Structure 1
């Protein structure tokens, strides 16, 4: 029997790839030494991440290096899934017809999962590279911070040792220029950080969503394949019915291929719907940021406004205009008049 190890021999671009072209191959897949050995991975694990480079960029350098290790691990998982799929198909080759056919087709699905893992690594690298660009900007801002701090220290030292030194005026002028340069650099860093952060995690979450949805599709069709296996117990000497599910298993694989090929984000099955409370808070925040919200602070007028004629002493109110409220205690104003109702003593 011909064993198949991959779902599609010739791969046409999927609907998702047409809508969102795939990125270049991940940078973790190139530049390896000694075949599959990964010396860099072990080195990054043994050396404290972020131990080198400018102080400002150290924390983000640690994140970037940790993410590279994550990608190496995902790449290894994808490659080993493909090997597992092939071995599953080889194992089932000598079994009964139904088990042999189903294990072959299950191997096809698991091999497809391995290829999805490989594609996910490329998408994930978009996120990592974008985060890495923030690190580079942070590293470029560090010298301006260091220069400003150095001049500040020099001025403090001169004021302590030589309070009348003419160098102090020169250094103060340099400090003004350094602060201006640092202010521009910090503003650029703030803007770029926000822009790149949103772009980076958009890459990651889009990739996660596509990957997870396609994995769920494969899992669903895998369970359909299992229905072709006759697990009815037989007595010794009894013969099972001849297997006639070859065309069905091929149709299941074809349906799975079509579902994966035609998947686009707009048709995703899992939707992240906000609760009413989250939507309300989000709308309030958007209105507050855009200035389109309604300011309700001026709608309530002060009660103690005698000039406008709105304030009336408590003695002028009719007693029957209010319901009884034993919890309300009378309060006195600054001029000795009483507001409200006196507390009733039992």
Structure 2
């Protein structure tokens, strides 16, 4: 972990000052996506382990419902993984801003270099022939920089809006679909009779298998019917 952070620090130092903050933001955003990918995969693993545990119990109700709840958890995990993909797509817009910031750096640096040189010449020898030459060079550098700065403004505004529009759309989709699945998960749990059984007695026979299958079908249909609201 320490080596990874050191590598990140060294890499950011190689970035032009203008793009260093966006460089770090892009990296941090990638880490968020990776965390959701990992969390989603782990939830899927938990679902499989739950179903495996339920299968070996002597309780028919637990065996069936653990399997069905595992299906719900698997879908919730898959939604986390799909969100990670969507977040990575949104991150490409931040990369465009970063790359444009990089491209502006040389024009800013060039204009500053000419400005510094012109000031030195003016301080030493205002009548020098180099003054006119540097003034012309400054005008060219300034014109080039104005074009680059305008492009940076346009690219930044467009891609900032697009990046976070996609980010928020992905968050809404993941959240609303996971809510759908969680509600159907509660429906499954209501099929389980958890009243205490006295010693020597047996629970009432489990009769919820058909309802449980229907709940999963309902969940599948609700996910299929989900539509995003217009984000404007």
- Give the whole-Å Cα distance in 2 for the aligned partners of 1:176 and 1:94: 80
| 1:167 corresponds to | 130
| 2:213 corresponds to | 250
Equivalent pair of 1:50/1:60 in contact (CA under 8 Å): no
Q: Secondary structure of 1:146's partner?
A: helix
Deviates more, 1:43-52 or 1:152-161: 43-52
1:47 maps to 2:8: yes
Equivalent pair of 1:57/1:138 in contact (CA under 8 Å): yes
| 2:43 corresponds to | 81
Equivalent pair of 2:188/2:212 in contact (CA under 8 Å): yes
Counterparts of 1:203-218 in structure 2 under 5 Å?
Answer: 203-218=166-181
1:228 maps to 2:195: no
| 2:226 corresponds to | 263
| 1:155 corresponds to | 118
Higher relative contact order (CA 8 A, sep 6+): 2
Q: State the 1:164 CA deviation.
A: 2.1
- Residue deviations 1:155-213, cap 9 Å, x none? 01111222321111100011011111111111111111111111111100110110000
| 2:74 corresponds to | 111
Equivalent pair of 1:44/1:65 in contact (CA under 8 Å): no
- Residue deviations 1:272-315, cap 9 Å, x none? xxxxxxxxxxxxxxxxxxxxxxxxxxxxxxxxxxxxxxxxxxxx
| 1:20 corresponds to | none
Q: What CA RMSD, in Å, does the superposition of the two structures yield over aligned residues?
A: 1.8
- Give the whole-Å Cα distance in 2 for the aligned partners of 1:51 and 1:262: 48
Deviates more, 1:101-110 or 1:47-56: 47-56
Q: State the 1:44 CA deviation.
A: 4.6
Moved over 6 A (4+): none
Q: State the 1:71 CA deviation.
A: 1.3
- Give the whole-Å Cα distance in 2 for the aligned partners of 1:234 and 1:226: 18
Any unmatched runs of 5+ in structure 2?
none
TM-score of the two chains, using structure 2 as the length reference: 0.94
- Give the whole-Å Cα distance in 2 for the aligned partners of 1:50 and 1:206: 30
| 1:62 corresponds to | 24
Q: State the 1:240 CA deviation.
A: 1.4
> If you compute each CA radius of gyration, which structure gives the higher value, 1 or 2?
1
- Residue deviations 1:215-269, cap 9 Å, x none? 1001100000001111111110112111111111000001001101110013x9x
Any unmatched runs of 5+ in structure 1?
1-38, 272-346
- Give the whole-Å Cα distance in 2 for the aligned partners of 1:62 and 1:69: 11
Q: Secondary structure of 1:51's partner?
A: helix
- Residue deviations 1:314-338, cap 9 Å, x none? xxxxxxxxxxxxxxxxxxxxxxxxx
Q: State the 1:52 CA deviation.
A: 2.3
| 1:92 corresponds to | 54
Q: Of the candidates 146, 170, 190, which is equivalent to residue 153 of structure 2?
A: 190
- The 3 A distance-change label for structure 1 pair 212 and 42 is farther
Q: State the 1:42 CA deviation.
A: 6.4
Q: Which has the higher helix share?
A: 2
